[in-house]
Structure 1
Amino acid sequence: MPLSSPAEREHIHTRNVTCTGYRRKDGLWDIEGHITDTKTYGFENNDRGEIPAGVPIHEMWLRITVGDDMVINGVEAVTDHAPFNACNEIAPNYEALVGLRIGPGLKQQIRERVGGIHGCTHLTELMGPVATTAFQTIFPIRAREAEERRKQQEKDVTASNPPKKRRSPLVNSCHGWRSDGAAVKRIAPDMYTGD
């Protein structure tokens, strides 16, 4: 269902964020983010001169490479458009994110490594949806493959040696995955805590 009808208004600014996840042939995962900010009007910029309507004031790219363990083992950042000439100088600093694990506490660790003058506000913000995209890319594939392995193990195991119960790292990660909710009862019943 879309939002309600808005009040009369004028379109001023558009931010587009696109994130895409890829599985590499070497078993790693590439997650790429792209962010652009455009205005509906042209304006003068001290470093770039006239920036026409629709031409990005910000355009940045970010690629992280992670393993199945969700640890970042590669980062590449590029700034194509920014309001200041110095903005593209900071992109190499994002290599400092190598070694971080996508999970709880990631935002704080990112701020510690590339916050403030050590990074770019927009590239740092882009890490949020990039991290979410990594999870959305990797988890379903790993879960499907784990289920396929489990089914194969069931075929291979005798009745006296039943397979282990599945565990889901998603339990209690959000309202939909709460341990006493319908989704957990259906998908991971061994972790269900409801009535």
Structure 2
Amino acid sequence: MPLPPPRVPRQKAHLRQISVEGYRRDDGMLELEACLRDTKDLDYVLASGVRRAGDAIHEMRVRVTLDADFTIVDAEACSERVPYPGGCETIAPAYRQLIGLNLMHGFRRTVGEMFSDVRGCSHMTELLLSLPTVAIQTLATFRRDNEDGGEKPFQLDRCHALETSTQTVRLYYPKWHRERAKDS
């Protein structure tokens, strides 16, 4: 169901686009490439100069390589467009600290701690928060979700719709459906 139409006329001022592409490399590892891009619909005056409507204010990119356990084995970051040239882009090497982190075990919390405030770029750090779910979606591309390998499908009990006591699971994964526990 789509959002209802706006109730009051409005003028668009800002667009943030976040894209993350997932790849399976020839060596079997997964690679994620993420980009955050901000543009304004009006000319935007900064201390560093005017950015024309439609020109990128921010354009940050991150690439991580993951092993079979979703541990980051390589990480690269860059800032192609920044509001303060000569300052913003100098933080990119700090994101090599991602190497060794696991996307499935406290990644978002750890990233928030590692790169908060002046230890990182708020836009680059925000971009990283999408990586765990995109990694799962990338891996899922190469798995059939209804294969019966004897193990519970990885996506069950990871969101409200696929909680194993729901009607959704009863319909699509009947083997794994369980009745909701009654309160005593």
Q: TM-score, normalised on structure 1?
A: 0.82
Aligned to 2:157: 172
SS state of the match for residue 4, structure 2?
A: coil
SS state of the match for residue 160, structure 2?
A: coil
Structural RMSD (CA): 2.1
Give yes or no for the alignment of 1:111 onto 2:96. Answer: no
How big is each residue's C-alpha offset from its partner over 1:61-90, in whole Å with a ceiling of 9 and x where there is no partner? 111111221111111111011112211000
1:43 Cα deviation after fit = 2.6
Contact 1:167–1:188 under 8 Å retained in 2: no
Aligned to 2:46: 45
The 1:4–1:53 alpha-carbon spacing in structure 2 relative to 1, beyond 3 Å, is: same
Q: TM-score, normalised on structure 2?
A: 0.87
- Paired residue type of 1:144: R
Contact 2:103–2:131 under 8 Å retained in 1: no
Aligned to 2:80: 80
- Bigger radius of gyration among the two: 1
Deviates more, 1:26-35 or 1:176-185: 176-185
From 158, 174, 178, the equivalent of 1:193 is 178
Q: Which runs of 5+ in 2 are unaligned?
A: none
Contact 2:30–2:67 under 8 Å retained in 1: yes
- Paired residue type of 2:67: G
Contact 2:145–2:153 under 8 Å retained in 1: no
Distance in 2 separating the partners of 1:174 and 1:31: 22
How big is each residue's C-alpha offset from its partner over 1:50-109, in whole Å with a ceiling of 9 and x where there is no partner? 211111111111111112211111111110111122110001111111111112421111
- Paired residue type of 1:92: P
Aligned to 2:99: 98
The 1:102–1:187 alpha-carbon spacing in structure 2 relative to 1, beyond 3 Å, is: farther
SS state of the match for residue 44, structure 1?
A: strand
The answer to which structure has the higher helix fraction is 1
Note the 1:1-195 alignment, pairs <5 A: 1-6=1-6, 7-47=8-48, 49-85=49-85, 86-141=87-142, 143-144=143-144, 147=147, 165-186=150-171, 188-194=173-179
1:44 Cα deviation after fit = 2.6
Distance in 2 separating the partners of 1:25 and 1:60: 26
Q: Which runs of 5+ in 1 are unaligned?
A: 151-163
SS state of the match for residue 109, structure 1?
A: helix
- Paired residue type of 2:75: V
Distance in 2 separating the partners of 1:112 and 1:100: 13
Identical-pair percentage: 32
Contact 2:37–2:56 under 8 Å retained in 1: yes
Distance in 1 separating the partners of 2:4 and 2:119: 41
SS state of the match for residue 78, structure 2?
A: strand
Aligned residues: 178
SS state of the match for residue 176, structure 1?
A: helix
